[in-house]
Amino acid sequence: MKKRFMMMLSLIVMAVSIQAQSVNRKGLRCTTETAEQLINMMKSASEGVMPTEQEWETLFNLDGYKTSFGVRKDGNEWKENIKNAFLIQFDANRKAELDSIVNAGISYESPHFHAFAYNFHLVRKNIDVMVDFMQKLDMNKIIKKADKMVRKYLPKNADLSNAKFGNIHFILWDGEGRAWTNGVYIDMNLALLGGEEELIRTLAHEFHHIYMDSILSDYYKQDSKDHALMAICWNQQEGTADMISKPVMPTDKMGIYGEKIIKAYNDDYFSTPQVLQELDSLTCQYLAGKITKKQYRKARECAHFEGHTTGDYMVFLIRDQLGKKAAIECFGDFAKFVNLYNEAARKANTYVFSDTFVKHIESECEKMRQVSNIENH
């Protein structure tokens, strides 16, 4: 279950060299070498020296990119987006295309490549500031503070002994931070735009996802493929982690994203009651035999923005109506989460899940707590 729910050296010396940081803390390796190599390539390109195919191969074989591509089926597409986003910055024949992307900003409908191109435009524009920022980063201090912070947002008696931390890689891609099964990946421009304090919160957010792995392993004995439960899990996962990194909604700041994305994000947050009503309706219809299993699959889509907007609404409602402790202590217990949400929703006079929906989630959770027949043999 935890895997399904978790939703990503030898450097060529270039014209301007940056000292790579590699920090080990209890086996945790934190590197900036991938971002640094791309910045060096960008500086050389600004002086008219474009990277060779060998240099691209060297870049993509650095751990930050290599491991992130390896965890995704569309890894080659991400690699092409990075290369194309780099090249468009220096191609006079594509200036109009780049200007169009930059002037339009990133919207919810924008192709994924636009996020890479827009982010690299910002990197090139602020490259000297970024170099200075990277040289001053104290990774040991930042990791220590992030780990201390995240523990304040985990259940008091949670078993965290099985948490498996991959390496932390500071890279350059589409301006996002992600925790995948093989590591944590933070876009260096995202780190720069937020500053050190926000970087600590971003890392703590991603650490929270990793600790969730350990909590679910301890709490549940088997998997579930139920679509409604998946939506509830994603909503709780992101909503709880967002209490660390984005504790106030509506928000007025989202990394590289401008007004269009921020408005869409905030609007979606406020439409959560309608989304939860749809989740409830789909589940009840499926249980009553009125829709097929394939149609029921739409229930998992009721975790918008990968669970951020709808999850923020649910978790923040519990926090604001019942207290921060209540929102934290139910983490990983999806049945308790749904019941606490209903309690908070009644107080706030917003959408309340039906008894049928609540009982379904409770039933699915109870099944997961039981040892499977395979384990018994």
pLDDT band at 14, cuts 50/70/90?
very low
- Residues 110-119 pLDDT 10s: 999 999 999 9
Which one-letter amino acid corresponds to residue 3? K
What is the average per-residue pLDDT within 201-216? 92
The confidence score (pLDDT) of residue 185 equals 95
Number of domains in the chain: 2
The confidence score (pLDDT) of residue 371 equals 74
Same domain flag for 211 and 279:
no
With H, G, I as helix, E, B as strand and everything else as coil, classify residue 248.
Answer: coil
What is the average per-residue pLDDT within 126-146? 93
Q: State the Cα–Cα distance between residues 24 and 225, nearest whole angstrom.
A: 37
Last residue of a domain, one of 170, 202, 219: 219
Last residue of a domain, one of 173, 199, 219: 219
For residue 100, the enclosing domain spans: 2-219
Q: State the Cα–Cα distance between residues 208 and 127, nearest whole angstrom.
A: 31
Same domain flag for 213 and 330:
no
pLDDT of 1 strictly over 50: no
Same domain flag for 281 and 241:
yes
Same domain flag for 211 and 276:
no
pLDDT band at 372, cuts 50/70/90?
low
Same domain flag for 214 and 252:
no
Same domain flag for 247 and 359:
yes
Same domain flag for 236 and 203:
no
- Residues 344-360 pLDDT 10s: 999 999 999 999 999 99
The confidence score (pLDDT) of residue 27 equals 58
Residue 351, Cα to own-chain centre: how many angstroms? 27
- Please give the span between the terminal C-alpha atoms of the chain, in angstroms, as a whole number: 20
> How much of the chain exceeds pLDDT 70, in percent?
91
Same domain flag for 258 and 170:
no
Last residue of a domain, one of 171, 191, 219: 219
226: nearest Cα among 125, 330, 120, 334: 334
326: nearest Cα among 153, 150, 120: 153
- Residues 89-125 pLDDT 10s: 999 999 999 999 999 999 888 999 999 999 999 999 9
pLDDT band at 373, cuts 50/70/90?
low
The confidence score (pLDDT) of residue 38 equals 98
Instruction: Give the burial class of 200: count Cβ atoms within 10 A of its Cβ; 0-12 exposed, 13-18 middle, 19 or more buried.
Output: buried
Same domain flag for 215 and 316:
no
Work out the mean pLDDT of the chain and round it to a whole number. 90
Same domain flag for 212 and 234:
no
Q: State the Cα–Cα distance between residues 362 and 233, nearest whole angstrom.
A: 13
- Residues 149-191 pLDDT 10s: 999 999 999 988 888 888 999 999 999 999 888 899 999 999 9
Same domain flag for 305 and 238:
yes
What is the average per-residue pLDDT within 282-291? 98
What is the average per-residue pLDDT within 27-47? 92
The confidence score (pLDDT) of residue 22 equals 42
Q: State the Cα–Cα distance between residues 279 and 233, nearest whole angstrom.
A: 13
Q: Which two tokens stand for residue 160?
A: 């965290």
Same domain flag for 240 and 325:
yes
